[in-house]
Amino acid sequence: MSLLKGKRALITGVANRWSIATGIARQMHEHGAALAFTYQGERVKDEVEKLAAELGGGPVIECDVASEDSLARLAPALAQFGKLDALVHSIAFANKDDLAGKTHGTSRGSFGLALDISAYSLIALVQALHDQLADGSSIMALTYLGATAIVPNYNVMGIAKAALEASVRYLAFDLGDRGIRVNAISAGPIKTASARQVAGLSKMLDVVAATAPLRRNVTPDDIGKMAVFLASDLSAAVTADVHFVDGGFHAMGMYPPPQ
């Protein structure tokens, strides 16, 4: 079944083939979507271009979400691609030193950087692409349980994800009169390049696999399947919410005793 046939999606945040954004792109392509990609910096350009060539050969555009000039060039670069039916925000950053130890050790500059790149960037992309988004389109952002619950070492990134989730709700209200839905996907921990910056990730993966109701960790493809649903007409009345794809771990009140 091609749930996204005839739809066009912009994917941000691909770093390599293990990225959550890559899993989303593959699932959307499998369901018939035409894809465009952004990348930030020459370091990842080749990987993103290679993925785009595998998934339909759509445009690949450099975009630094911290640069107003770069954002201003995004919509014109997408003009020939056409109106967007889906926008995937998979962008986050914090200094590695802030993803270990104590939250109160975060400097003012590091705090601002994490909030700017990880949360404000969603608002910035919506500003830049406001006229490029089709009425009835779907915007989705990637978040994590650390936005609403304590995850040791996630620290300032948890604060940034909380801001991102609040932004999702307010944008959903602002854009609802055009039928545009805005949602967040809260993914379970996955061993991506960015997640490996969080101290103790391996232990987190072990805990989730042992205690989540489904007794396993999730994959980028699992996240991609939720993204397909949110981009499809099946989610036409779904907006302003956070959708957990974590094997049910978020619902656990305490760990079950050892067997």
Q: Dihedrals φ, ψ of 170, to 5°?
A: -70, -35
Residue of 164, 138, 47 whose CA lies nearest to 85: 138
Confidence of residue 254 (pLDDT cuts 50, 70, 90): confident
What average pLDDT does this structure show over 226-233? 98
What average pLDDT does this structure show over 72-101? 96
Task: Please tell me the predicted confidence (pLDDT) of residue 191.
Answer: 83
User: Do residues 121 and 71 touch, judged by C-beta distance below 8 A?
Assistant: no
* CA pair distance 220, 33, nearest whole angstrom: 17
Query: Which active-site residues does the annotation give?
Result: 144, 154
Confidence of residue 23 (pLDDT cuts 50, 70, 90): very high
Q: What is the pLDDT of residues 97-122, one digit of tens each?
A: 999 989 999 999 999 999 999 999 99
Question: 195 pLDDT exceeds 70?
Answer: no
Under CATH, domain 8-246 is a member of which superfamily?
NAD(P)-binding Rossmann-like Domain (3.40.50.720)
Question: 170 pLDDT exceeds 70?
Answer: yes
Q: Which residue has the higher pLDDT, 46 or 193?
A: 46
CB atoms within 10 A of CB 209: 17
Confidence of residue 200 (pLDDT cuts 50, 70, 90): confident
